[in-house]
Homo-oligomer: A and B are copies of this chain.
Amino acid sequence: MTEKTPCIICVAITGSLPTKADNPAVPISIAEQVESTHAAYEAGASIAHCHVRDDEGKPTSDVVRFSRLMEGIQTHCPGMIVQLSTGGRSGAGKARGGMLTLRPPMASLSVGSNNFPTRVYENPPDLVDWLASEMKTYGVKPEIEAFDLSHIYKAKQMVDAGEIGARPYVQFVMGVKNAMPADKRVFDFYVETVKHLFGEDTPWCAAGIGRHQLELNDWAAAAGGHLRT
């Protein structure tokens, strides 16, 4: 983590949801993803949050694809931090963590369950523990995905239990239907909670989903957090 940079920008070049049919500009192939990450890198982004797709454009946890994407970004964007997604949209169970053996510098880690627009986002306790232990084994720094307040407290318990390192990097995810809305009052409490649990200077970031992206970026910039685009 480049702690001395005043503002870290984390770019999510390809989410797990949009398809070429939704938006022909969405980068799907590895080459397209590397190109698009490079543009963000030149514009100042320092972390690349990465998903990969299969040949049909569907989210996958395929280790070979993750490996090619990581290598491409590291070659074309020197110094950029690659963060691979272990999120549940791309696979189920331990398949979600197969790419951790690639030893990426960072990976996302969901530590609780919550509702998504039309289903349950399932992160069973034993899977959370396993993903954390794999990250520890392979020296991967987790980004804790906080879809709700208790997830930040769960991160604290995992720090205390030695499952993850001190001062975890928490990302607040807001604006997902049926999870936490993009609410300024809650955002402020999230920031206070991170400072309270992990110390004043602990870096954190915030992601607003869909139409909430710019709003969350404004709030995060004003409160000293990192941005996610």
Taking the complex as formed, is A20 at the interface, i.e. its CB lies under 8 A from any CB of chain B? no
The smallest beta-carbon distance between A199 and chain B, in angstroms, is: 16
0/1 string, A162-196, CB within 8 A of B gives 1 = 00000000000000001111010110010001001
> Which of A116, A150, A154, A178 has its CB near the most chain B CB atoms (within 10 A)?
A150
Taking the complex as formed, is A22 at the interface, i.e. its CB lies under 8 A from any CB of chain B? no
Q: A124–B113 contact, CB under 8 A?
A: no
Copies in the complex: 2
0/1 string, A105-132, CB within 8 A of B gives 1 = 0000000111111111111111010000
A119 contact set on B, CB distance < 8 A: 124-125
The smallest beta-carbon distance between A216 and chain B, in angstroms, is: 16
Taking the complex as formed, is A26 at the interface, i.e. its CB lies under 8 A from any CB of chain B? no
Chain A, range 170-229, C-beta contacts under 8 Å to B: 178-181, 183, 185-186, 189, 193, 196
Taking the complex as formed, is A7 at the interface, i.e. its CB lies under 8 A from any CB of chain B? no
Given the known A-B contacts A149-B180, A181-B153, A186-B149, are A115 and B124 also in contact in the complex, defined by CB atoms under 8 Å? yes
Q: A150–B179 contact, CB under 8 A?
A: yes
Among residues of B, the one whose C-beta sits closest to the C-beta of A156 is B181
Chain A, range 47-67, C-beta contacts under 8 Å to B: none
Taking the complex as formed, is A35 at the interface, i.e. its CB lies under 8 A from any CB of chain B? no
Taking the complex as formed, is A148 at the interface, i.e. its CB lies under 8 A from any CB of chain B? yes
The smallest beta-carbon distance between A189 and chain B, in angstroms, is: 6
Given the known A-B contacts A149-B148, A153-B183, A183-B153, are A125 and B114 also in contact in the complex, defined by CB atoms under 8 Å? no
0/1 string, A142-163, CB within 8 A of B gives 1 = 0000011110011001000000
By Cβ-Cβ distance, the 7 closest A-B pairs, closest first, are: A149-B149, A150-B180, A148-B148, A113-B120, A148-B150, A120-B122, A113-B115
Could you name 11 residue pairs across A and B whose Cβ atoms are closer than 8 Å?
A112-B148, A113-B113, A113-B114, A113-B121, A113-B122, A118-B126, A120-B120, A120-B123, A122-B122, A147-B150, A153-B180
Additional pairs, 10, CB under 8 Å, beyond known A113-B120, A113-B122, A150-B181: A114-B148, A115-B123, A115-B128, A119-B124, A120-B120, A120-B124, A125-B178, A149-B180, A153-B183, A185-B196
